[in-house]
């Protein structure tokens, strides 16, 4: 066998999803079902990957958006055999073709490699498994004496005796390419569904003297497909539990492996601890001894060793240094970089800012588009006013600055090294180094002033 083609069938309407979104674009672990299958197929290093699309084809192609794929339209959904026939002109004359399904996201490349290892130019390989309740699946019919596979009979076409067979067809097959054109041309739709079954090729292969082999998945859940949102949720839990198990085997302490969600890639150093109900999206890296308390959301972030992220904190597209303390209820927005030993406290929002080692923003503050030096203390309620209604401006706060509570820094502005800003000040001009800067009016009481009252008429 000289090469491997992969065909992914992804043309179904997915009516049972009860959604305008094509079934293969529904997400598992934050990624479309079809992308899971594509990623697995790529690990096999095939010569080419062909996707047979139909329902919602334009949106499927725009979401996947990979110029290296071959796209083939199945305008009418007339069965799996008809779908593969649409892809036939794109396949090589020799080698083998592996048929996968865009709504079967959990099959692993290690399982598919079992099929590929069995394959040669005169062999058809099926992925089969045994179920206690095989209802609804095509049955594998074997010769009662030799055990050789003779045919696949769909559940709706099976006799009562055949329905007693518990070995089923998962749908995943590997075909020798040199026979495909002949086999697909001989398919008919004389069955209860009125469709062209790809499974009918098995009987043709036997008749043509082509040996039919089988392999079984390494895990029983791998061939599970998605037909409705209940099944999608079930596969989500399988995926998440498998990921959690892998993390714990690597040494990560999870407070409850059933209450963590990973929608991307999470890599962890030694002695990492993650509490309940945490969500990790995109690419997240946690260094040694990082502690993530409950109900945090972390997205595309790097958090260095020894940092503690307290409960209900959101971190997105940011880099966090060593031994920082963040939260609870903090929001770290894109473009933020915290150096080591920075403290970000409760109800503090940081956006597109760099904060140097040892600085603290501990209470009820907004820091946006700012550069903060070392050992700076930002008092409660302080705001950097970075937006003038049309443009963003930067605030520069140099080392060893102390900013009192409830201050507003109107950017662009610079607070020089060692300066102190008195509480309640509105700073509109640069503040000099090593001096106290205040901006307050004299306290005044107006005796004739009356508080506005609501009109109750």
Active site residues: 363
Nearest partner of 359 among 348, 457, 202, 178, judged by Cα: 348
Is the separation of the CB atoms in 403 and 382 below 8 Å? yes
Give one word for 166, left, alpha or beta, with left for phi > 0 and alpha for psi -120 to 50.
Answer: alpha
Strands 325-326 and 308-309 come out as parallel
Is the separation of the CB atoms in 138 and 200 below 8 Å? no
Spatial separation of the C-alpha atoms in residues 258 and 279, rounded to whole Å: 12
Which residue is it, tokens 């001989």? 186
Is the separation of the CB atoms in 98 and 182 below 8 Å? no
Could you tell me how far CA 305 lies from the centroid of its own chain? 25
**Which one-letter DSSP state was computed for residue 191?**
S
Which residue is it, tokens 């008919």? 188
Spatial separation of the C-alpha atoms in residues 399 and 346, rounded to whole Å: 23
307 CB neighbour count, 10 Å cutoff: 23
Helix segments in 250-330, DSSP class H: none
Handedness of CA 341, 342, 346, 349 (dihedral sign): negative
> Six-digit token pair at 304?
């260095």
Nearest partner of 127 among 95, 177, 171, 180, judged by Cα: 171
Of all helices (H) and strands (E), which one includes residue 183? Answer: helix 177-185
**Which one-letter DSSP state was computed for residue 269?**
-
Strands 70-73 and 318-320 come out as unpaired
- Angle CA 381–384–389, to nearest 5: 125
Is the separation of the CB atoms in 366 and 384 below 8 Å? yes
Of all helices (H) and strands (E), which one includes residue 42? Answer: helix 33-42
Q: At what angle do helices 109-118 and 33-42 cross, to 10 degrees?
A: 50
Is the separation of the CB atoms in 127 and 216 below 8 Å? yes
Spatial separation of the C-alpha atoms in residues 351 and 334, rounded to whole Å: 6
Residue 176 dihedral angles phi and psi, to the nearest 5°: -75, 125
CA count, 13 A, side-chain hemisphere, 50: 22
């Amino acid at each position: 066998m000289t090469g491997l083609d992969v065909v992914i069938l992804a043309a179904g309407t997915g009516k049972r999803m009860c959604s305008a979104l094509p079934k293969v674009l529904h997400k598992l672990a934050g990624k479309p079902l079809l992308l899971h299958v594509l990623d697995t197929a790529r690990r096999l290093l095939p010569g080419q990957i062909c996707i047979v699309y139909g329902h919602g084809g334009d949106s499927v192609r725009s979401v996947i958006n990979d110029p290296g794929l071959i796209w083939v339209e199945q305008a009418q959904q007339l069965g799996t055999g008809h779908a593969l026939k649409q892809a036939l002109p794109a396949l090589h004359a020799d080698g083998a073709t592996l048929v996968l399904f865009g709504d079967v996201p959990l099959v692993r490349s290690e399982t598919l490699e079992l099929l590929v290892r069995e394959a040669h130019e005169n062999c058809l390989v099926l992925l089969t498994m045994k179920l206690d309740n095989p209802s609804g699946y095509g049955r594998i019919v074997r010769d009662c004496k030799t055990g050789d596979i003779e045919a696949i009979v769909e559940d709706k076409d099976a006799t009562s005796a055949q329905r007693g067979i518990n070995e089923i067809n998962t749908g995943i097959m590997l075909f020798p390419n040199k026979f495909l054109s002949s086999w697909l041309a001989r398919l008919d739709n004389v069955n209860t569904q009125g469709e062209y079954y790809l499974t009918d090729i098995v009987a043709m292969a036997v008749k043509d003297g082509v040996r039919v082999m089988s392999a079984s998945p390494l895990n029983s859940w791998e061939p599970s497909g998605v037909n409705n949102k209940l099944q999608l949720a079930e596969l989500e839990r399988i995926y998440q539990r498998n990921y959690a198990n892998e993390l714990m085997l690597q040494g990560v302490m999870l407070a409850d492996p059933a209450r963590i969600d990973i929608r991307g890639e999470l890599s962890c150093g030694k002695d990492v601890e993650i509490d309940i109900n945490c969500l990790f999206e995109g690419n997240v890296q946690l260094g040694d001894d990082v502690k993530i308390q409950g109900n945090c959301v972390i997205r595309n972030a790097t958090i260095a060793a020894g940092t503690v992220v307290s409960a209900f904190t959101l971190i997105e597209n940011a880099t966090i240094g060593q031994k920082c303390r963040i939260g609870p209820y903090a929001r770290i927005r894109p473009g933020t970089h915290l150096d080591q030993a920075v403290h970000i406290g409760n109800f503090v929002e940081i956006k597109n800012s760099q904060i140097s080692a040892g600085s603290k923003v501990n209470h009820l503050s907004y820091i946006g588009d700012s550069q903060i030096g070392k050992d700076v203390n930002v008092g409660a309620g302080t705001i950097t006013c970075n937006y003038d209604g049309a443009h963003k401006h930067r605030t520069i706060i140099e080392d060893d600055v102390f900013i009192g509570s409830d201050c507003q820094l109107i950017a662009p502005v610079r607070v020089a090294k060692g300066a102190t800003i008195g509480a309640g000040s509105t700073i509109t001009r640069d503040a000099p180094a090593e001096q106290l800067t205040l901006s307050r009016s004299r306290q005044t009481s107006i005796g004739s002033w009356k508080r506005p009252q609501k009109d109750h008429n």
